[in-house]
Amino acid sequence: MSGTFYAVSTGPAGADFITLGAVRVLGRCPTIFYPVTGSGEGKHIAFDCVCEAVDVSGKECVGVRFSMSGDKARTDAEYGAFASRAAEYLEKGDVAFVSIGDVSIYSTAARIAKIVGQMGFRVEFVAGVPSFCAAACSCALDMAPGLGDEIRIIPGDACYRSGALGDVLSSPGTKIFMKSPRHLGEIVSEVVSRGLSGSAHLVQGAGGADERILTGDALAEAGADVFGNAYMSVLVVGV
């Protein structure tokens, strides 16, 4: 009898953000896959969170390397190859694939789960704390103070490259910029030039031991040491 593929959210950083539901699922899955990017050296954030919250002794924990190259053909090939590999494990039992934040938002786990589902296996998502919610809470921000207020989630790099950044910053409501590893500096520069730095908060490593928050003058004066660490950054503008 084949198992279930669980796409499991671990939250933004640290075991404090893993839900009880995620702990229960991970506790009963004999196999846990976790993403490895770049050189594969150093921290694996999602798996490190799991190891803080779950006893993984006796489980098969497997790192899966993804290039994160931006090349769609290459990415699709990597996802397809891993889905086929996961299918071999699913023939024997349940499998978990862990991902930071919430698996329903900009998630490798969700894309792989779709492929696995198309192969005929049962798929379940396990919800988690999104990074932008953790970031807002770290800053004690009410992102929607009025019942009619909008909150927009914006992929920063794509927005900047499209030329839509100015229009987005001029729009009402709270703007949340994620996925800005290449153009975070330019986005912050535009925020500052429009006089919005006082209502903008840049949070890096939300909720983790190395969390960093910049707003106002500190954001306006940010330099390479900040923008060189852009991958785990969330910029909230308009509160």
Buried b (16+ CB within 10 A) or exposed e, 146-175: eeeeeeeebebbebbeeeebeebbeeebbb
Report the alpha-carbon distance of residue 238 to residue 60 in Å, rounded. Answer: 45
User: Does position 105 have pLDDT exceeding 90, yes or no?
Assistant: yes
User: Does position 89 have pLDDT exceeding 90, yes or no?
Assistant: yes
What is the Cβ-side half-sphere exposure of residue 143, based on CA atoms within 13 angstroms?
Answer: 19
Amino acid identity for residue 112 in this structure: I
Report the alpha-carbon distance of residue 44 to residue 176 in Å, rounded. Answer: 25
In 100-209 the beta strands, taken as DSSP E runs, fall at: 122-126, 151-155, 174-178, 200-204
What is the Cβ-side half-sphere exposure of residue 231, based on CA atoms within 13 angstroms?
Answer: 5
User: Does position 185 have pLDDT exceeding 70, yes or no?
Assistant: yes
Residue with structure tokens 């004066």? Answer: 221
**pLDDT confidence of residue 43:** 59
Q: What is the pLDDT of residues 62-82, one digit of tens each?
A: 999 887 667 788 888 999 999
Q: At what angle do helices 108-118 and 72-90 cross, to 10 degrees?
A: 60
User: Does position 204 have pLDDT exceeding 60, yes or no?
Assistant: yes
User: Does position 111 have pLDDT exceeding 80, yes or no?
Assistant: yes
User: Among the residues of 38-122, which ranges form H helices?
Assistant: 45-53, 72-90, 108-118
Q: What is the pLDDT of residues 12-47, one digit of tens each?
A: 877 889 999 999 999 999 999 998 875 445 458 899
Q: Residue 123 region, left (φ>0) first, then alpha (ψ -120 to 50), else beta? A: beta
Q: Residue 118 region, left (φ>0) first, then alpha (ψ -120 to 50), else beta? A: alpha
Look at residue 52 and give its three-state secondary structure: helix
9: Cα separation from own chain's centroid:
9
Question: What is the residue-averaged pLDDT of the chain?
Answer: 92
**pLDDT confidence of residue 232:** 86
